[in-house]
Amino acid sequence: MRPSTFVAGLAAVAAPALAQNMSICDKYTTALLKENTGANQLTLLTLLVNTVVIGNYTTPNMNAVPGILAKGNYMGTEVNLLPYFNGGLASSNRGGASGVAINFLDDGGAAPLMKNLPSTGTSSNQYKLMTHLYQYFGALLGCSATGFPSYAGFGSQAAVHRFMDLSAAEVGYFIQQVALAASSFGVSQDDIAVVGKALNTIFNVRCAPPTVVIPAQGAQLQSICQDETCLLAPMATCAAYPATMKPAKANDTMAAGGAANSTKTGAPAATSSKPAAFSGAAVKIGAGAAGLLAAAVLAL
Ligand code: HEM
């Protein structure tokens, strides 16, 4: 399978798919890969998420994507997300009172991603993170064909991202890369706007009440944006979120933005795979992201 050959003719096939009340995942799996199977949905999400992470690696493509590991500028603010992923910052939640440094590029870095794989092997931090991202973004986009894997990671993204103390520019940059990656494969600007709005509303806010994203996981605290630059969510429940502080540098070279394809950081290894939970107020709002996206697609 050659990802490079998928884009041609997308505009022509996407319109009829839209008329059939399909999810965004169904629509673009059909448009790009023809058969709407679980395996093809997973290929689509692998293409999308790998491009979000490392930037364009397939041709032809509709536009350039720097990827979240590249330094960038989001609306005038310099952004560098790499140190959260390469063990440069003690920013991962493994259940303790503060963050720990973990290298998520420990299994080949960019090289396997460019071959449309999550990692070289299957027992690394990189494998776990990448496969969880395929599953999660797949669920958000309505991938539900038999064989598409259910999300097997943690339900509360606030807990997962707890010790990163992310800013509006950092989360905005991440979401912008999702949008650029989608448009590089020919996803329509209307569909991108729907997804971007959902991501910004659910994750790029401070103190949102528990929200359903993965129905099987119920309502969970999902706000990822934490510092003073973040928009306060409607019905904010800040008491449910622990106080934050900027993560400590674990490795000066990596914290400054070391090589994206490095395989070793010298950072302490993870001790447990469980993030610390929050108390979480018992408010449940809306139908969650899956419902939100499905409804928006049906309304187009
Ligand atoms: C729309 C915004 C975002 C969403 C929906 C999202 C979603 C996720 C998901 C589903 C996971 C996997 C959790 C698990 O394995 O249990 C994850 C992990 C991670 N995310 Fe995000 N993320 C977002 C933004 C960001 C941003 C802006 C950063 C900044 C660096 C970031 C850094 C990370 C890191 C480092 C991990 C690994 C955490 C760990 O295993 O401890 N994410 N994210």
Percent of the chain with pLDDT over 90: 75
Pocket test for ligand 1, best of 174, 177, 220, 265 (most atoms within 8 A of CB): 174
pLDDT in tens, 84-139: 999 999 999 999 999 999 999 999 999 999 999 999 999 999 999 999 999 999 99
Q: Is 225 helix (H, G, I), strand (E, B) or coil?
A: strand
**For residue 248, how far is its CA from the centre of ligand 1 (angstroms)?**
18
| Nearest-atom index, ligand 1, CA of 175 | 1
**Per-residue 3-state assignment (H helix, E strand, C coil) for 45-114:** HHHHHHHHHHCCCCCCCCCCCCCCCCCEEECCEEECCHHHHECCECCECCCCCCCECCECCCCCCHHHHH
pLDDT at 245: 84
- The answer on pLDDT for 271 being more than 70 is no
| Nearest-atom index, ligand 1, CA of 129 | 15
Q: How many CA atoms lie within 13 A of 92 on its CB side?
A: 24
| Nearest-atom index, ligand 1, CA of 275 | 41
Peptide bond into 60 cis (omega under 30): yes
Distance of alpha carbon 151 from alpha carbon 133, whole angstroms: 8
| Nearest-atom index, ligand 1, CA of 153 | 16
pLDDT at 139: 98
| Nearest-atom index, ligand 1, CA of 170 | 27
**Cβ neighbourhood burial of 211 (10 Å; 0-12, 13-18, 19+):** buried
Distance of alpha carbon 220 from alpha carbon 210, whole angstroms: 4
**For residue 286, how far is its CA from the centre of ligand 1 (angstroms)?**
22
pLDDT in tens, 140-162: 999 999 999 999 999 999 999 99
| Nearest-atom index, ligand 1, CA of 85 | 35
Distance of alpha carbon 57 from alpha carbon 62, whole angstroms: 12
pLDDT at 296: 30
Please give the radius of gyration of the chain, using alpha carbons only, rounded to the nearest integer: 18
**For residue 242, how far is its CA from the centre of ligand 1 (angstroms)?**
18
- The answer on pLDDT for 7 being more than 60 is no
Confidence band, pLDDT 50/70/90 cuts, at residue 254? confident
**For residue 28, how far is its CA from the centre of ligand 1 (angstroms)?**
24
- The answer on pLDDT for 210 being more than 90 is yes
Average pLDDT, whole number, for the chain?
A: 84
109 within 8 A of 85, measured Cβ to Cβ: no
Give me the mean pLDDT over the 199-223 stretch: 98
Q: Six-digit token pair at 286?
A: 């809306």
Distance of alpha carbon 21 from alpha carbon 134, whole angstroms: 23
Does residue 298 or residue 108 have the better pLDDT? 108
pLDDT in tens, 222-243: 999 999 999 999 999 999 999 8
pLDDT at 283: 30
31 within 8 A of 10, measured Cβ to Cβ: yes
pLDDT at 252: 82
Distance of alpha carbon 194 from alpha carbon 196, whole angstroms: 6
**For residue 12, how far is its CA from the centre of ligand 1 (angstroms)?**
34
Give me the mean pLDDT over the 274-289 stretch: 42
263 within 8 A of 109, measured Cβ to Cβ: yes
Distance of alpha carbon 128 from alpha carbon 110, whole angstroms: 15
DSSP-assigned letter for residue 41: H
Confidence band, pLDDT 50/70/90 cuts, at residue 20? low
Report which residue type is found at 37.
T
Give me the mean pLDDT over the 23-31 stretch: 97
Report which residue type is found at 160.
V
Report which residue type is found at 96.
G
Percent of the chain with pLDDT over 70: 79
Beta strands, E only, the chain: 72-74, 77-79, 211-212, 219-220
**For residue 164, how far is its CA from the centre of ligand 1 (angstroms)?**
10
**For residue 161, how far is its CA from the centre of ligand 1 (angstroms)?**
6
Pocket test for ligand 1, best of 77, 150, 161, 205 (most atoms within 8 A of CB): 161
pTM: 0.86
pLDDT at 251: 81
Confidence band, pLDDT 50/70/90 cuts, at residue 272? very low
Pocket test for ligand 1, best of 160, 176, 180, 204 (most atoms within 8 A of CB): 160
Residues with CB under 6 A from ligand 1: 81, 84-85, 92-93, 104, 129, 132-133, 136, 153-154, 157, 160-161, 164, 166, 170-171, 174-175, 199, 203, 224
- Distance between terminal CA atoms of the chain? 32
* CA distance readout (Å), 133 to 14, 42, 136, 256: 24, 11, 5, 25
**For residue 191, how far is its CA from the centre of ligand 1 (angstroms)?**
22
